[in-house]
Chain A
Amino acid sequence: METRNIMIVGVGGQGTLLTSRILGGIMLSAGYDVKMSEVHGMAQRGGSVVTYVRYGDKVSEPIVEEGQADVLIAFEQLEAMRYSHFLKKDGVLIVNTQRIDPMPVVIGAAQYPEGIIENLSKKHKVIAVDAMNEAMKLGNPKVFNVIVIGVAAKHMDFSKEQWFDVIDRTVKPKFIDINKQAFETGYNM
């Protein structure tokens, strides 16, 4: 199988590392070679963060390069825009519609762009979800990222049972049920 490329982008502290662990876990259990690359250190302090996940028969480089992402998962709109050029021609962009103003916007040195989703939809296949709102409905805003994974799962090659299996193995026992609910919510959207 040709190597598949997934990117997860967001704002430091949004839980991109847990997301990549779940994604990596499912690819491993399906018997693929997997490589992932993540950001630690200074950039995690509220900065723009990116995680790469690649799987296939044999994976060489651990990063996804510009123009090569099959699936781009963005936890924040501006970050979706920042990394959209990493998408393949027919790549899928899954974006959580949350808006987090970066410091240049907060202090008035820059404007947060208007109409991000509409503009990106002109060029790419975009699936926008208000996962934060859905997570609030479930009673735990922290699981918004697993809702996004649920949405993304429909564009990957694994069964729901396989996903549940990896959630069982990755998430702390007392959060398993809520994370499965979150996944299910995204999967059915």
Chain B
Amino acid sequence: MSEQKRVMMLGNEAIARGAYEAGVKVSAAYPGTPSTEISENMVKYKDELYCEWSPNEKVAMEVAIGASFAGVRSLASMKHVGVNVAADPLYTISYIGVNGGLVLVAADDPGLYSSQNEQDTRMVARAAQVPVIEPSDSQEAKDYIKFAYEMSEKYDTPVILRTTTRLSHSQGLVTLENRADIEDRPYERNASKNVMMPGNAKLRHLAVEEREKRLIEDSCDFPINRMEINDTSIGVITSGIPYQYVKEALPDASVLKLGLVNPLPRRLIEEFSSKVDKLYIFEELDPLIETQVKSWGIKATGKEIFTVQGEYSANLLRRTVLKQEPYINEEISVPGRPPILCPGCPHRSAFTVLNKLKIHAAGDIGCYTLGAVPPLNVIDTTVCMGSSISSLHGMEKAKGKDYIKNWVAVIGDSTFMHTGINSLMNMVYNQGTGTVMILDNSTTGMTGHQDHAATGKTLQGDTVPAISIPALCKAMGIKNVYEINVFDVEGLEKLLKQELSKDEVSVIITKTPCVLLNKTPITHTCQVDEEACKKCGMCMKPGCPAITKLESGATHIDETMCNGCGLCKSQCKFGAINDVPV
């Protein structure tokens, strides 16, 4: 039966493999670091299952719910903040339960490698009364998601598989097995369970409470909740990636490794705590386990010595529990190297124009959030997906239309399709006058180039009609809709001035593909004529990493980095930058 083949897999790849082996037939997601590679690996199995990029996480969740109603195993995957977008269906599908097994993979980001906050999905799950399973390495990621589907169907509940950046983006050995042949469950109309109106939902709420009680008891015997009794002077309750740090720093300690972190197996935890002298609770982010365990009158140490911020490590345990200071060379203070827009990035051109015109921008989520940092300093605010347009509207309603004459909303194409559309509808409906720039680079850039409804391609590689963003805006009744090449800096400057002066909603779509997406080879690079260079440094103002200052004071463009976008050339008043064919 089993192929018994061992391969290296990213955590996310193993999650996809596990879903495949579990017989999943429908998968839906919106890209978001660190969850993106789950769908990018699901598509490898597209001959045997369906997978899609949905426009946002709420839609993805609902697609998975629909597949579950229809009786097949389904998957939704997203980053932690995506779970907020999907919260509405999530809280209610908890009441309804499942027909085909339903798993939501939520990828948290302790340490904020690529996110706007550090929220803990376990807290959301606890509020929504949805069970949470947490693996500790790639092999477990694959095994646990298969267990999650069995649990989902047995207990009539959606299940969250929680991963973190460290698990999702670490590789480990995984033993491959064959795909299970799971029969579709028959569909039967059952309105009292599947139509959540008050009379039905009241009864379902009681069913959820019963389910949770049953899980609290049964999970004490789940194989994924495991006691490792060694030296009993120290006992640690842990789960997920922190388990690995415990094994590294405290190899002799007794450990209760929880695979199910919501709800908690109370009897098992009480038994474990009675066996050990000193009990620690070692969980990244919020004290979810700790707060509950302490509320049962069990003495334990947790957030008194372990931080609520960032990732954990074995050194953290050595310092706090063992009171050892590991040998470490002195850390040397060096200039930071924050992420930057690529050479030739279209966003740099848009921000250079905004910077010149001293325009403030309400920003959004994507590569273009980097417009907030020097030397561009254009973006003033960034909250969440889609918030640029609505928050600009809020400013206008607070201070009047003249107040936003030097403000724009800046949003990418994928983010606009995600939730920006709703905000733009609101601006039109409620008589706003804002100017919206849609930086359309024809892809979801930051997460590594995923398609969306306006690109004309699907996750499975099918060519489909692209939804036209200008037509969409015009359909909302917006009269001022423009498309412009973002590197036409003079044209863009003129257009911005013109539209900001109007007391009407305007949408300026800068349609220029991401430089990393453009597969056509570059025809030329830009080079500085050192003799003509007046050393004014204007070409450096946009902050292109290909341009540096020589000791002579003249500037130099690295030809291996330059993509020939010509933005620097447009900034040079002395004609000292020329196109050189490659």
Interface residues of A (CB under 8 A from B): 11-13, 24, 28, 33-48, 59-63, 65-68, 78-79, 81-82, 84-85, 87-89, 100-107, 109-113, 123-124, 141
Contact = CB atoms under 8 A, between A and B. Distances in A.
**Most chain-B Cβ atoms within 10 A of its Cβ — which of A24, A62, A113?**
A62
Nearest to A11: B337
A171 to B, nearest CB: 16
Which 3 residue pairs are nearest across A and B when measured between Cβ atoms? A41-B33, A41-B114, A47-B339
A46 to B, nearest CB: 4
B41 to A, nearest CB: 13
A40 B332 contact: no
B367 to A, nearest CB: 6
B338 A102 contact: yes
From A24, A79, A106, A124, name the one whose CB has the most chain B CB atoms within 10 angstroms: A106
Given A103-B545, A106-B547, A141-B560, 5 more contacts: A45-B339, A45-B367, A45-B370, A85-B330, A102-B336
Contacts of B475: none
B248 interface: yes
Nearest to B242: A61
Nearest to B560: A141
Interface of B: 8, 33-34, 36-37, 113-114, 137, 166, 169-173, 241, 244-245, 247-248, 313-315, 326-332, 334-342, 367, 370, 373-375, 446-448, 540, 543, 545, 547-548, 560
Which of B36, B326, B332 counts the most A-chain CB atoms under 10 A from its CB?
B332
B335 A105 contact: yes
Contacts of B375: 103, 107
A34 B172 contact: yes
B329 A67 contact: yes
Contacts of B137: 35, 62
A40 B245 CA distance: 22
A61 B113 contact: no
A123 B447 contact: no
Contacts of A37: 166, 169-171
B244 A60 contact: yes
Given A84-B329, A109-B374, A141-B560, A35 B334 contact: no
Contacts of B331: 66, 85
Given A34-B8, A105-B335, A45 B342 contact: yes
Contact of A43 (B113, B447, B448): B113
Nearest to B544: A106
Contact of B171 (A36, A43, A48, A109): A36
Contacts of A106: 540, 543, 545, 547-548
Contact of A41 (B170, B340, B342, B446): B446
A113 B448 CA distance: 32
Nearest to A25: B8
Contacts of A84: 329, 332
Contacts of B8: 24, 28, 34, 36
A103 B328 contact: no
A39 B169 contact: yes
A36 B170 contact: yes
Given A60-B244, A61-B314, A62-B170, A39 B342 contact: no
A133 B150 CA distance: 57
8 contacts: A24-B8, A40-B36, A63-B170, A67-B326, A79-B337, A88-B327, A100-B545, A103-B374
Contacts of A104: 335-336, 338, 374
Contacts of A66: 315, 326, 328, 331
Contacts of A81: 332, 334
A5 B540 CA distance: 40
Given A67-B329, A103-B340, A141-B560, A39 B314 contact: no
A107 B315 contact: no
A60 B339 contact: no
Contacts of A102: 335-338
Given A60-B247, A85-B330, A123-B329, A43 B339 contact: yes
